[in-house]
Amino acid sequence: MDTCGLALNTTRQRLTYICKFYEFALDNGWVKRLPFGHEERTVKRELGFLAHVDASGGQVMANNVMPRCHKILPKFLSMAEIKSLLAAAENPHHRMMIRLALHTGLRREEIAAFPLAYVLDPDKVGRTERNFRIRLDPSDGSGMVTKGSKPRDIYVSRKFMAELYRYVTKIRGERASLSKTPQKALLLNQAGESYGDDGKSLNRIISETGKRAGVRVHTHMLRHTYATQTLVSLQRTPESGLEPLVFVQRQLGHSSIQTTMVYLHLVNEMADKAVLAYDDELNALAGAT
């Protein structure tokens, strides 16, 4: 692999083709034996409460010429990197875009479509809860977009909802006035229009902000950051009464908890680091910028 300069996945794919050909040749009597064997390998699995139904013991039979699979973990930002990123976001519209991603874990297209109608004044709702539940529903007429058009509930802290409301009443109007028609989306571009359903331009804005901060970042990395930091925070505060992995799964909109389990690997890497309540830290950082 080092000699050919091929990526590990490319090498695995090409070896698979070769091995399948030899297996086909053996079945058809073209060769008397395979030029490779099989060995038992241990596979690490994060099964959690499903561990009792896994009868394999983590053992699988694998072709002995195939390189072992190396799971590539998602990259996320540390709190120091988040602080630098927010400080570099001098444009208040871009800063709110980044904060919305960090506080909710929304996908790129969900951030672009996040409706103005979902923002409320927390002091006038007559409720005292610390978190507000928001129903992301593409069929409610708000213009919301979700993966597969599946509705889901997310939670936004009272403090961040107050920041969103302040943004709407004090800052958003600057861009909203540039459009000839009212826009449903919370975040607007320089022309006063929404960023579009796919939100691809968000990547450019966030990446350029990261360059000024000396941080390599893209929109989906902010989603990874939310998931990892929130999972760590919830695991360190069991008094919350929430099942951390299930909460993060629902917040992110993963159809399978297996998808969310990748973040457990990241949490294990952070196990020896002191992490405070994620949302409170974000609000403190925002106040300092």
pLDDT at 55: 47
Number of domains the chain contains: 2
For residue 17, tell me if it sits in a domain: yes
pLDDT at 99: 98
- Domain span at residue 19 reads 8-63
How would you class 257 by CB atoms within 10 Å of its CB: exposed for 0-12, middle for 13-18, buried for 19 or more?
A: middle
Residues 29 and 122 reside in one and the same domain: no
pLDDT digits (tens, 9 = 90+) for 162-187: 999 999 999 999 999 999 999 999 99
Residues 30 and 101 reside in one and the same domain: no
For residue 100, tell me if it sits in a domain: yes
Residues 102 and 172 reside in one and the same domain: yes
Residues 113 and 187 reside in one and the same domain: yes
Model pTM? 0.72
Residues 53 and 195 reside in one and the same domain: no
pLDDT digits (tens, 9 = 90+) for 241-286: 778 899 999 999 999 888 898 888 777 766 544 444 566 677 777 7
Residues 23 and 135 reside in one and the same domain: no
Residues 271 and 169 reside in one and the same domain: yes
Average pLDDT, the chain: 84
For residue 3, tell me if it sits in a domain: no
Q: Is residue 211 classed as helix, strand or coil in its secondary structure?
A: helix
Asked if the model's pLDDT at residue 83 lies above 70, the reply is: yes
pLDDT at 213: 97
Residues 18 and 142 reside in one and the same domain: no
Separation of alpha carbons 14 and 17, rounded Å: 5
CA atoms within 13 A on the CB side of 261: 12
Q: How confident is the model at residue 33 (pLDDT cuts 50, 70, 90)?
A: confident
For residue 102, tell me if it sits in a domain: yes
Identify the weakest region by mean pLDDT among 2-16, 99-113, 114-128: 2-16
pLDDT digits (tens, 9 = 90+) for 180-222: 999 999 999 999 999 987 888 999 999 999 999 999 999 999 9
Residues 117 and 85 reside in one and the same domain: yes
88: CATH: 1.10.443.10
Residues 207 and 84 reside in one and the same domain: yes
Closest CA to 111 of 231, 276, 209, 226: 226
Residues 140 and 48 reside in one and the same domain: no
Residues 58 and 84 reside in one and the same domain: no
